[in-house]
Amino acid sequence: MGASPDRRVKIQVKNLTKRFGDLLVLNNISFDVADGEFISIVGPTGCGKTTFLNTLTKLIPATEGSILIDGKEADPKTHNLAFVFQEPTCLPWRTVRDNVAFGMEVKGFPKDKLEERLEYILKLVGLSDCANLYPNQISASMVQRVAVARAFAVEPDLLLMDEPYGQLDVKLRYYLEDELIRLWETLKATVIFVTHNIEEAVYVAERILVLSNKPTTIKAEVHVDLPRPRSLVDPKFIEIRKKVTELIRWW
Amino acid sequence: MSNTIADEIVHHVKERQPLTIWSVLGNEYFLYCVSFISFLLIWHFIAAAGLLGLATPEATIKEMIRLMSVKLAGKNLFGHIWASSRRILIGFAIGAATGLPLGLFMALNRYVNAIVKPVFDLFKPMPPIAWISISILWFGIGEPSKVFIIVIGSFVPCVLNAYAGIRIIDPELYDVIRVLGGNRRQEIFYVSFPAALPALFAGIQISMSVAWTCVLAAELVSSRSGLGWIIIRGMKLTKPELVLGGMAVIAIVAWIFSAATSGIEKLLCPWKRGIKEL
Ligand SMILES: Nc1ncnc2c1ncn2[C@@H]1O[C@H](COP(=O)(O)OP(=O)(O)OP(=O)(O)O)[C@@H](O)[C@H]1O
Ligand SMILES: [Mg+2]
């Protein structure tokens, strides 16, 4: 399953298989992601979306197959990745500000650039007012915003998001979806966005991968070539949304 | 670009309660006073009735005030407080300075763990006071033997808590730094140490109270100074006000030690404070 031929390939997933003991989760999956592409992955619960992202980031080893980023074996130490986890994860001993700065500190951003970017990102995701609070003093949706901000802040060239907006209210979700697209357009990052929400997938992605039930393969891919900003009530938008919903019904 | 949606934020507004008789009676500080005063009253009546061989609170307090100026075995009350405290501070400092790093090393490196753990587990259940005879045999009856007991006593909880503090860290916190490309050294300094800090303080608190037990035991056995010695002295002279006074002073000084540790913990672990205390 290839990306459009005129773009450089960023990520190559080759015959990726993952087993947990006898449980076959990812079954010989192959696909490419182009440089700067925005991909959405939708699939049933427990099909291995999180597992896929974890193998991509080397948090867990693949059983077979390989994942290459820019032609090299994927590795967070050599590639500039950022990951927004499904479960909001903040470091409880750091304030909101220091949590957002965390990725930049680990990656060794120079001090002045770090400060400047920190203020910008805090304002962008609306965390300036609670920058000095600790994670146990803010709501769950704010914690998730911190995780998103931390990922944005490191200017990743590959941004992985695992149902990042599931916990947020609709208003904030729309706002952050637009922010994400804006960020993607300015940073030219490659984004892999896992979601349960079909409307969200169609709204943000250039291409949607629909996964099957376990053992998981890619069931279909849907190109979304709508102009941006997209409208949720555009007939073409609705048509694509229906198409993906149809595919998902067949699970 | 306007940030109106993003700027929305949850405000924590503390509701003020109107002052009523029930809010005063239900106030925890008021209840603390009630509890403390009842305790003193019950103590007073039992002692005044001549029961249980107790001295009254007044007699006890008077005796302690007298000891502030009158010397007992060459030291006034503050001298004896310092004698005990100094032993604790030295012994505890040595115990913590060796125990905490050892516990951290054991949790972070499985080779260190494999080598140290079997021996440590062997000595762990042994009460520190069991070391008293050996300690006197090795160090004589002077200061070093008392300090040695305290070192042993505070060492064990420090090792255990430092070890547990690292082991209970949520693995997801390591994932956060790993996907950002952090190396092992960064994992340790950015995640392991700060995450284990509250557990280190828990170990320090336990060590402190063990240290008090140890210093008293050591002073009861052989000493010419310290709060434990004051108690023994009171026993030998059948002066209950001296015994009770010694006990009360120990309680107060031990409480101050523990409160000071909590204070330092709050400074170093500000995220453990609730919204209420901010
Ligand atoms: N460490 C593990 N050991 C054993 N089985 C696992 C492990 N991690 C995941 N699994 C199994 O692998 C399958 C895929 O899990 P995964 O979390 O990747 O699903 P998911 O697609 O992210 O689901 P969701 O939509 O609920 O987030 C599940 O059946 C799960 O039980
Ligand atoms: Mg998942």
Q: What is the 3-state secondary structure (H, E, C) of chain B?
A: CCCHHHHCCCCCCCCCCCCCHHHHHCCHHHHHHHHHHHHHHHHHHHHHCCCCCCCCHHHHHHHHHHHHHCCECCECHHHHHHHHHHHHHHHHHHHHHHHHHHHHHHHHCHHHHHHHHHHHHHHCCCCHHHHHHHHHHHHCCCHHHHHHHHHHHHHHHHHHHHHHHHHCCCHHHHHHHHHCCCCHHHHHHHHHHHHHHHHHHHHHHHHHHHHHHHHHHHHHHCCCCCHHHHHHHHHHCCCHHHHHHHHHHHHHHHHHHHHHHHHHHHHHCHHHCCCCCC
Would the CB atoms of B3 and A81 count as touching at under 8 Å? no
What's the one-letter identity of residue A58? K
A220/A192 same-domain check: yes
Would the CB atoms of A126 and B5 count as touching at under 8 Å? yes
Which phi and psi angles does A117 have, rounded to 5°? -70, -35
pLDDT at B141: 82
Would the CB atoms of A126 and B7 count as touching at under 8 Å? yes
Which CATH number does the domain housing residue B245 bear? 1.10.3720.10
Distance set, CA B119 to CA B122, B125, B160, B166, B238 (Å) = 5, 11, 13, 20, 45
A233/A181 same-domain check: yes
User: How far, in whole angstroms, is CA A101 from its chain's centroid?
Assistant: 19
Residue A131 has pLDDT above 60, yes or no: yes
CB atoms within 10 A of CB B52: 9
A59/A96 same-domain check: no
Of A133, A156, A179, which closes a domain? A156
pLDDT at A5: 56
3-state per-residue secondary structure call for chain A = CCCCCCCCEEEEEEEEEEEECCEEEEEEEEEEEECCCEEEEECCCCCCHHHHHHHHCCCCCCCEEEEEECCEECCCCCCCEEEECCCCCCCCCCCHHHHHHHHHHHCCCCHHHHHHHHHHHHHHCCCHHHCCCCHHHCCHHHHHHHHHHHHHHCCCCEEEEECCCCCCCHHHHHHHHHHHHHHHHHHCCEEEEECCCHHHHHHHCCEEEEECCCCECEEEEEECCCCCCCCCCCHHHHHHHHHHHHHHHCC
Query: Do β-strands A38-42 and A190-194 pair in parallel, antiparallel, or remain unpaired?
Result: parallel
Q: What is the extent of the structural domain holding B80?
A: 55-272
What's the one-letter identity of residue A104? M
pLDDT at B68: 85
Q: What is the mean pLDDT of residues B137-145?
A: 87
Confidence class of residue A4 from pLDDT cuts 50, 70 and 90?
Answer: low
B93/B31 same-domain check: no
Q: What is the mean pLDDT of residues B52-79?
A: 85
Which CATH number does the domain housing residue A13 bear? 3.40.50.300
Confidence class of residue B15 from pLDDT cuts 50, 70 and 90?
Answer: low
A194/A231 same-domain check: yes
pLDDT at B13: 45
Domain count, chain B: 2
CA angle B97, B102, B103 (to 5 degrees): 110
Q: What is the extent of the structural domain holding A196?
A: 1-79+157-251
Q: Are A153 and A118 in contact (CB under 8 A)?
A: yes
B78/B214 same-domain check: yes
Q: State the best of B13, B169, B172, B176 to mutate against chain A, taking most chain A CBs within 10 Å.
A: B176
B278, part of any domain: no
CB contacts < 8 A, A to B, total 92
Confidence class of residue A159 from pLDDT cuts 50, 70 and 90?
Answer: very high
pLDDT at A105: 94
Q: What is the mean pLDDT of residues B244-272?
A: 92
A9/A36 same-domain check: yes
pLDDT at A251: 55
B90, part of any domain: yes
Confidence class of residue B52 from pLDDT cuts 50, 70 and 90?
Answer: confident
B28/B163 same-domain check: no
A62/A135 same-domain check: no
Closest Cβ opposite residue A106 in set B177, B269, B278: B177
Residue A46 CB–ligand 1 contact under 6 Å: yes
Distance set, CA A83 to CA A156, A245, B148, B171, B176 (Å) = 9, 27, 51, 15, 8
Domain count, chain A: 2
Q: Which chain B residues have a beta carbon less than 8 Å from that of A175? A: 5-6
Q: Which chain A residues have a beta carbon less than 8 Å from that of B182? A: 106
Report yes or no: A80 at the B interface, CB cutoff 8 Å.
yes
Would the CB atoms of A82 and B179 count as touching at under 8 Å? yes
The number of CA neighbours under 13 Å toward the Cβ of B13 is: 6
Mean of per-residue pLDDT scores for chain A: 89
Residue B264 has pLDDT above 50, yes or no: yes
Residue A47 CB–ligand 1 contact under 6 Å: yes
- Higher-pLDDT residue of B256 and B19 is B256
B144/B130 same-domain check: yes
Cβ neighbors of B162 (< 8 A, separation 6 or more) are B99, B100, B101, B102, B103, B104, B106, B107, B196, B199, B200, B203
Q: What is the mean pLDDT of residues A4-15?
A: 83
Of B7, B29, B54, which closes a domain? B54
B32/B145 same-domain check: no
